[in-house]
Every structure is written in C-alpha cells, then in structure tokens.
Amino acid sequence: MTDPLTFYGIPLSSRLLLGTAQYPSPAILTEAVRASGAGIVTVSLRREAGSQRSGQTFWHLIRDLGVRVLPNTAGCHTVQEAVTTAEMAREVFGTNWIKLEVIGEADTLQPDIFGLVEATRILAKDGFEVFPYTTEDLVVADRLVEAGCRVLMPWGAPIGSGRGLNNVYGLRALRAHFPGIPLVVDAGIGTPSHAAQAMELGYDAILLNTAVAKAGNPAGMARAFALAIEAGRLAFLADPMTPRDMAAPSTPVLGQAVFA
C-alpha cells in the first residue's frame, strides 16, 4: 500500500484481514493467506479446540504463516459469554487484541449493539484492544469510541451473505463522522468489486472470510481481493471525479473544423 495503516499503534503492511474458517483443507487455507498478503487473520477460540490434537495442529499452522492473530468471540450471544471467551482467547493466543462479536439476532447475525457496548466497556477496562463487529449506526459508534474502541468494524451486509454494501449512505456517513478512526468493513463482502467500492468510500481495510473460503479457487480469489482493495484505496487517494447527471464533453470543441 502507498500510505500507512495502524491498529492500536501497530503498523500494517496490508489492508486485507482474512478469516480462517470454512476452508476445504489446511493446505488451501495456507495458500489463500499467502496469496492474499494479509498480515492479520481472525481465529475463533472454538476453532482452537482447547487441548485437542486438531486444535493444536491448526494453531501451529497459523503460527507458521507468520501473521498477526486477531481472536474473535464468534458465536457469543451474551455479554458474559463474550467477555469470558475474550479472556480465554487472551490466554490461548497471547494478545490483547479481540474482535468482539455479541450476536443479537439469529437469522441475520446482526450485532446486539447494547450488549456490544457493555462488553466493550468491560474489556477495555481490562486492557483489551477491541475491534467491535457493529452496524453503521452513528450513535452506537460514538458509544463504542467512548468505551475505548480505537477501531470500528461495521458490517456491509449480514455475515456470509455476499450481498456487498447494503447501506452505502450509512457507511459514507460513518466515514465522514469518524475521520480519524480506522474503519474496517466486516461481513457481507462477496466479490472484489464490493471490496473496491468500500475502499473508494474511504474505508481503511476489509475483513472477509466466506467469499474466499467458499470460492472455487480460494487462493485466486484471495489474490483478486488483495488487488481490488489496493485499487480502491489508490482511487480514494486520487480524489475521484464527482458524478454528474448530464454529459460533459471530454474532447475540447474549440479549434474544431466547421463544415458549411
């Protein structure tokens, strides 16, 4: 990338964060992470599977990739469950970073924004650096920042839906309202064009999983997303033209020959 990105003071070389679930095999996961160039991968404590052999093998695979781990509280539906999972994840993965999910609705996996703010306050006071999976709601974002978040992760669409950016207006307003906070679109991204669109809005990074893991060629799709994110960021920095309702000639008319 051409400009720096930091999360909680940590500089990053890539604006793509990649999930590690649902891949057909560990080898394909490894290929996809390397093809993406991602410097951060998200990992569920449930995937680590405690002391089971499968969990240990997975953890060794992640460490061998040389990427930074962002544990998450996926599957948690209450504040207490999310806080306990975060505390366990800190012990297992040795990091204060936590992607905080508190799910409030089963069909859409929409965040419970009230529980999210409460859990954030508890974890931030305990030294965690929270990456909250939230909506594009400005008031909720304000509360999360007040609670200690220095990164916000609004959804584009429901997790795993691949629908892209359901509320472009809301996402644009969030970007304008929080110019100094890193914003990451998390969930709902289905194609590289969705990712490029989010980056053109001025978002700082993209977190995705299903769109790569479920692709026919995960490594190829991971590479496509990496390029789309870079293109979107470069386009944003280049200050795109403002859309017009009417045509505007791109070729000067002065000096053209006039035929009588």
Confidence class for position 14, pLDDT limits 50, 70, 90: very high
pLDDT value for 136? 95
Binding residues: 160, 187-188, 209-210
pLDDT value for 260? 58
Which residue among 15, 90, 99, 194 is the active-site one? 99
Binding residues for 1-deoxy-D-xylulose 5-phosphate: 160, 187-188, 209-210
Measure the CA–CA gap between 203 and 185, rounded to whole angstroms: 7
Lowest mean per-residue pLDDT among 39-53, 54-68, 152-166: 39-53
Task: Give 94: exposed, middle or buried? Use CB within 10 Å, 0-12, 13-18, 19+.
Answer: exposed
Paired strand residues for 98: 130
Asked whether the predicted pLDDT for residue 50 surpasses 50, the reply is: no
pLDDT value for 246? 85
pLDDT value for 249? 78
Considering the entire predicted model, what is its pTM? 0.89
Length of the chain in residues, anyone? 260
Asked whether the predicted pLDDT for residue 58 surpasses 90, the reply is: no
Asked whether the predicted pLDDT for residue 20 surpasses 80, the reply is: yes
Asked whether the predicted pLDDT for residue 48 surpasses 60, the reply is: no
pLDDT value for 163? 95
Tell me the pLDDT of the chain averaged across its residues.
91
Average pLDDT rounded to a whole number, residues 190-199: 97
Asked whether the predicted pLDDT for residue 254 surpasses 70, the reply is: no
Top-confidence residue, 252 or 110: 110
pLDDT above 70 covers a percentage of the chain that reads: 92
> Cβ–Cβ contacts within 10 Å for residue 227, how many?
14
Average pLDDT rounded to a whole number, residues 35-60: 73
Asked whether the predicted pLDDT for residue 241 surpasses 90, the reply is: no
Span 89-143, pLDDT tens digits: 999 888 999 999 999 988 899 999 999 999 999 999 999 999 999 999 999 999 9
pLDDT value for 6? 94
CA 259 to chain centre: 58
pLDDT value for 247? 86
214 is catalytic: no
Asked whether the predicted pLDDT for residue 54 surpasses 80, the reply is: no
Answer positive or negative: Cα dihedral of 235, 239, 243, 249: negative
Measure the CA–CA gap between 5 and 38, rounded to whole angstroms: 13
- Tell me the two tokens of residue 2: 């051409």
pLDDT value for 244? 84
pLDDT value for 1? 44
